[in-house]
Amino acid sequence: MTIYNFSAGPAVLPKAVLETAQSEMLDYKSSGMSVMELSHRSSLFEEIIQTAENLLRELMAIPDNYKVLFLQGGASLQFTMVPLNLAQGKKALYVNTGSWSKKAISAAKALDNVEVEVIASSEDKNFTYIPEIPKTIDQNAAYVHITTNNTIEGTAFEKIPSFGKVPVVADMSSNILANDYKVEDFGLIYAGAQKNIGPAGLTVVIVREDLLNKKAIFAPMLDYALQAKNNSLYNTPPTYGIYIAKLVFEWVKAQGGVAGITAEDRKKAQLLYDAIENSHLFKSPVEKKSRSITNIPFITGDEDLDKAFNQAALAQGFENLKGHRSVGGMRASLYNAFPIEGVEALIAFMEKFEKENGGE
């Protein structure tokens, strides 16, 4: 039985990447060592991390005045690092579009010397849409924070709004390398790796140099400027995660780069959205103009039927389709490495289930 992994993260990785990692597991480039055993100060690992950075810069067209950092702690640590480095004694603006935005807001509010203002929210409708941004915002704010793709709720920013001169900070964990955004429209981008980049444990931060903190942070590990000065090697970084990220970046490049893979992602998402729209049983809880191409929730409107579908799907090899507990129903996470065959198989299963369960 073929297994299709719809997990929101840790998520599916390209088979070619896993095969390469398997072939190099015991002996990386005739070193007699696994990458997991290499010193982070060795020339072999220096080549890995530099290649990873160069590839990411190429794939995302990252300008020279941005630093690329490979850190630990997940995107959740960035909820604190961002205001700690960028907004001490200042105001930070937030757009609240879901569970992860709420956590970022809460983390910023926990800092005594940061003023937090939520300038827009979609909580009134259970985060089923992307809210409109006010035409005027405080231009003296340190930054405005957005979550570009909401993994749990299935919404996304199709285009990045203009916030004037206020730098945009983006949690891009679930749609990095799967959009046509321009890096120069952001002051800082951060992303946990476990969705489109690699295994859990690695976090990528892309930060404009002029935003690097001028004053040292009390905790060196949380200091962007110090991490940048040390080229992400202030301490032992997540070496194996960086190695897998390098392989994934190579794979993305071979798929036609971000443009090529985003086109394929849109194709996969459209297939599933069309199937949902044409169904008499399944429906999307998300407003059309706000729908994500990466994480697609759908429901029947009957909790018992949703449960039956999830159980039947699991028996057929469709793993991790159950929706987040805050939303319910089902959720298909179609990250870059998820094959289109899996989408087609899911649609066929949905059609069969609908016929068997009273669909018209």
Residues designated as active site: 100, 171, 195
**What's the burial of 245, exposed, middle or buried (CB within 10 Å: 0-12/13-18/19+)?**
buried
78 marked as part of a ligand binding site: no
Q: Which residues contact 198 (CB under 8 A, 6 or more apart)?
A: 13, 241, 242, 244, 245, 247, 248
* Cα distances (angstroms) measured from residue 269 to each of 154, 159, 249, 265: 12, 17, 22, 6
313 marked as part of a ligand binding site: no
Question: What are 96's two structure tokens?
Answer: 């609240």
235 marked as part of a ligand binding site: yes
251 marked as part of a ligand binding site: no
* Cα distances (angstroms) measured from residue 25 to each of 60, 88, 277: 28, 44, 45
Give the C-alpha separation, 51 to 54, whole Å.
5
Residue type, 323: G
Q: 276 in helix, strand or coil?
A: helix
180 marked as part of a ligand binding site: no
- The position carrying tokens 């793709």 is 149
302 marked as part of a ligand binding site: no
57 marked as part of a ligand binding site: no
Q: Which residues contact 76 (CB under 8 A, 6 or more apart)?
A: 103, 107, 192
236 marked as part of a ligand binding site: yes
Q: Are strands 168-171 and 155-156 parallel, antiparallel or unpaired?
A: unpaired
76 marked as part of a ligand binding site: yes
Ramachandran region, residue 9 (left: φ > 0; alpha: ψ -120 to 50; beta: rest): left
Give the C-alpha separation, 58 to 54, whole Å.
6
Give the C-alpha separation, 189 to 71, whole Å.
13
Q: Where is the binding site for pyridoxal 5'-phosphate, in residues?
A: 75-76, 100, 151, 171, 194, 235-236
Q: Where is the binding site for L-glutamate, in residues?
A: 41
Q: Where is the binding site, in residues?
A: 41, 75-76, 100, 151, 171, 194, 235-236
